[in-house]
Amino acid sequence: MRRWLVDAALVVGAGGVTVYRVAVATVAPADRPPDEWAYVLSVAMAVALLARRRWPGTVMAAVGGLFLLYHVLEYPGGAPAVPLWVALYSVAVATRRRAGLVLAGILLGFDAYSRMVINQVGLLDATLDSSTVVFVSMLLLGEVVRGRRTRLALLAADRERVAALRVTEERIRIARELHDVTAHTLAVVNVQAGVAAEVLDDDPAQARAALENVRRAAREALNELRAAVGTIRDGSRPAESADDRTGGDRTGGADDRIRDDRAGGDRTGCDRTEVEPPGPTLDRLPALAASTGAVVVYEGERRPLSRAVELTAYRIVQEAVANALRHAEAQRIDVRLGFRPDGLSLLVSDDGRGATGPPGNGLRGMTERAVGLGGWLRVGPADGGGFQVRGWLPG
């Protein structure tokens, strides 16, 4: 609607200026004085501009033809040029403009040739400059505006592409988090539930400890899934607490209590102060080992790493251990973390039956995590049997 208002105002303005120019034009001895047909031609040229956006080439042909007809009828020359300026600009700025530019070139050639014949001057004579320069300037102005619009469109498309890429990356990240959390939790529940079932009659204390491990794993999974669902719902991420940033205690905090309050309170029956925030780090490896039976060995002098490296390392170890329990039926799982000056090396090996099919989402997710930080990951059968996951993360 706004475009039609602009075009209507343009038609009224161009028509008014053209009628005025025809009325005050100097009538040479050889010219025909303006009559009603001169004004009809002028108004028709302006009205044709209403279709300049949709059919710029057709409008160029119509306006140009009426302009030539005006001069063929020997009315005062140059007076109805304003609609022609607009038509030339519209052709140059249009998306599909080849035919219109050809018509514009033909019109400019006719105009220059006719004035050369009438004035009996050469092509480069100064008397031809004023009209020709204005015509060419309108074409160049349209070209400049068209180029600017094209650049803005490309920038907008690039922003949309980047936004879409970020959405895709975030979706993949959330998918990896959900996969890792659920896979690890199911593996822990399976192992500890089996232990509890075997020793329930003979050793109730050990069975109670195994069930407590199941409870702890379910609580951790609930918190991490809640954070992931919150990210999917409104794009928010859990804020880091001061302890997280300083490498201190990461076993709870105000953020977790606030998050539970927003969710309507803790409905799992567990103490809020025991809730661990999403984004686990290497500090939680002992709990992982205790719940799965894995053996964790540290090599080199332990030092603080960036939160991204610790999260990635934990998730890789978590997924490798879960795979060993769920798919390899391993009896022993060894985890070795090597703190090097330039990064962190990881080795997770087991004595299970190894891989029996193509890599699944878990192995792909581990590789993507490592590569995303500039590291690498290799998975495959171990030399002495079983399966191993070996990697390195810069840090």
pLDDT in tens, 61-71: 888 888 888 87
Q: Is the pLDDT of residue 254 over 70?
A: no
pLDDT for 389? 92
Q: Is the pLDDT of residue 336 over 90?
A: yes
Domain contains 346: yes
Domain contains 341: yes
Q: Backbone phi, then psi, for 346, in 5-degree steps?
A: -130, 140
CA 352 to chain centre: 42
Residue 392: beta bridge partners?
Answer: 345, 376
DSSP string computed for 298-319: EES------HHHHHHHHHHHHH
Domain that holds residue 287: 282-395
Q: Final residue of a domain: which of 95, 124, 153? A: 124
Q: How many domains does the chain have?
A: 2
Domain contains 146: no
What sign results for the dihedral spanned by CA atoms 97, 100, 105, 111? negative
In percent, the amount of the chain with pLDDT more than 70 equals: 77
Q: pLDDT-based confidence at 244, cuts 50/70/90? A: very low
CA 377 to chain centre: 28
The count of other CB atoms within 10 Å of the CB of residue 98 is 10
The count of other CB atoms within 10 Å of the CB of residue 169 is 11
Q: Which residue has the higher pLDDT, 65 or 214?
A: 65
pLDDT for 288? 84
pLDDT for 359? 62
The 10s digit of each residue's pLDDT in 155-166 is 988 988 988 888
CA 319 to chain centre: 29
Q: pLDDT-based confidence at 307, cuts 50/70/90? A: confident
Q: Find, among 65, 43, 62, 55, the residue nearest to 90 by Cα.
A: 55
Rounded CA separation 63/41 (Å): 9
Q: Can you give the pTM of this predicted structure?
A: 0.46
Domain contains 97: yes
Q: Backbone phi, then psi, for 124, in 5-degree steps?
A: -100, 15
Q: Which residue has the higher pLDDT, 242 or 213?
A: 213
Contact, 15 vs 29, CB < 8 A? no
Residue type, 105: G
Q: Find, among 180, 123, 163, the residue nearest to 319 by Cα.
A: 180
CATH number at 360 reads: 3.30.565.10
Q: Final residue of a domain: which of 93, 108, 124? A: 124
Strand 387-394 and strand 343-350: the pairing is antiparallel
Q: Is the pLDDT of residue 259 over 50?
A: no
The count of other CB atoms within 10 Å of the CB of residue 216 is 18
Q: Which residue has the higher pLDDT, 249 or 185?
A: 185
Q: Is the pLDDT of residue 272 over 50?
A: no
Contact, 209 vs 198, CB < 8 A? no
Domain contains 369: yes
Q: Find, among 110, 94, 22, the residue nearest to 59 by Cα.
A: 94
Rounded CA separation 257/259 (Å): 5
Domain contains 181: no
Summarize the confidence of residues 266-289 as an average pLDDT: 60
Structure tokens at 126: 């100064």
Q: Which residue has the higher pLDDT, 179 or 341?
A: 341
The 10s digit of each residue's pLDDT in 218-241 is 777 776 677 666 666 655 544 443
Domain contains 172: no
Structure tokens at 242: 């001061």
DSSP classification of residue 192: H
Structure tokens at 221: 């999974």
Q: Final residue of a domain: which of 104, 124, 144? A: 124
Domain contains 364: yes
